[in-house]
Amino acid sequence: MRSRIAASVGWLAACIGISFVPATALASSATYTVRPGDSLYGIAAKFHVTVHQLELWNHLSSNVIHPGQVLVVSQGGSHSVTSSSPSSSRTNASTYVVQPGDSLWSIGQKFHITLSQLEAWNGLHASSAIHPGESLKVSPPKHPTISGAAKPATLSSRGSSPDATNTSLAQSALGFAVADYARTFLGAPYEWGASGPSAFDCSGLIQYVYAHFYIQLPRTSYQQYDAGIPVSEGDLEPGDIVFFDTYGDGPSHDGIYLGGGQFINAASTNVEIDSLSDSYWANHYIGARRVIGQNG
């Protein structure tokens, strides 16, 4: 009934020449139900509040949110609303069921464990993808295997030695998280000028994914090429941005490097994973930029 009333109001408004902005109408609400593709940053912008306020009002310990989750979006909102998903209270559980929007990095933050521990306990590697519904071990197995002992070295790839700083390890973990989150949009349709979450163009995907991690980037691939620091192809890490000259006039296309020579990008029809060694992309590749750790 409510949806019919809303539709009637919208039809009447169109007839008399009045326009309503959905985000403005929503801003008067005390709560908001998270939709697929939402991020705390996007919700904060929609309701003209800060991410810190959302975290405070909803007692969030991380920036991970899930579709269907109800958030308080104003100081006068009902604080009886449960802001966390049913699984978020299972911090003492031995396993965790992956939710939409999760990444290995965010799960590690939730359970106060390292990315290398998650990889070792679950037989994963740096470029592994996780999927909603998948069950992961989030505590040490009763009989740890020897193979898990070598895993911690995986994260030192942004550092040049075993003595890499905590900062470089955190940046490496964030790079893997960016790559994992980008994979959640695999198959989303391409649309020129679209910035998500239902459709993307190349730079729109880049901007949307990084905004989820509070890294603000310019809108176009040309502007994004000027962000961060240059990275040689041999030093690429997950989360780096790779650029291509597809129209003969500079960095007209970009994607997010996933590792193993692969990158994800919004191509001509949809978001897909391609290889840097593919003849087309290899011939049009012009460089890469690293924005993690360089953008505040």
Q: Is 166 known to be catalytic?
A: no
CA distance 220 to 73: 30
Q: Which of 265, 283, 284, 295 is catalytic?
A: 265
DSSP 188: P
Neighbouring-strand partners of residue 189: 270
CA distance 207 to 216: 7
> Residue 154: helix, strand or coil by DSSP?
helix
Strands 271-275 and 262-266: antiparallel
Q: Diameter of the chain by CA atoms?
A: 72
Q: Which of 58, 66, 212, 253 is catalytic?
A: 253
Closest residue by Cα to residue 68 from 98, 43, 91, 36 = 36
Q: Which of 58, 66, 202, 212 is catalytic?
A: 202
Q: Is 253 known to be catalytic?
A: yes
| Residue in the structure block whose two tokens are 């460089």 | 287
DSSP 146: G
Q: Is 265 known to be catalytic?
A: yes
Could you give the residue numbers annotated as active site?
Answer: 202, 253, 265
